[in-house]
Amino acid sequence: MLSCPTHGRRLETEQAFWRAEALRQPAPDRAAPEHILVMDRLTFQGLTSGTVSLPCRPVHVGVWLRLLRTLLDEASLSTSQVRRHSAAALVAPKSGPILPEGRLACPIVRPPQVDAQEG
């Protein structure tokens, strides 16, 4: 987390506080950008309740944290580390249908049906 979801302020490093102390300046107190607050509020909700309420449906906090980890991993990859098809997907993802409110519609993923005869 990069911010305090309750107060909307950025979390600063210990080094920033010691630097301000050494220079006899006030401690850093910066407002967090809205996009960071949204992610941190969802993460905080998951850590305190075990569930994250997404626009389409609630998900377990473990799923939420794996999703965040995956996004960070993909965002940190250089295009030289991925194949051509994967790089194109990272640059231009397929977003899916957009709802009237401007939100993306969340698809419902269902496992494939297994025929009882095959098992």
The answer to whether residue 84 sits within a structural domain is no
**What would the mean pLDDT of 89-93 be, rounded to a whole number?**
50
Query: Beta strands of the chain (E only): which ranges?
Result: 3-4, 9-10, 51-53, 58-60
pLDDT, tens only, 5-56:
899 999 998 998 899 999 999 988 899 999 999 999 999 999 999 999 988 8
pLDDT of residue 97: 47
- Our count of domains for the chain comes to 1
The answer to whether residue 30 sits within a structural domain is yes
pLDDT of residue 113: 58
Structure tokens at 80: 């030289």
The answer to whether residue 95 sits within a structural domain is no
Q: Say which residue the tokens 């409110």 belong to.
A: 101
* Structural domain span for residue 13: 3-79
Record the pTM: 0.61
The answer to whether residue 56 sits within a structural domain is yes
The answer to whether residue 41 sits within a structural domain is yes
The answer to whether residue 67 sits within a structural domain is yes
The answer to whether residue 18 sits within a structural domain is yes
Cα–Cα distance for residue pair 65/78, rounded to 1 Å: 22
* The pLDDT of residue 84 is above 80: no
The answer to whether residue 65 sits within a structural domain is yes
pLDDT of residue 119: 47
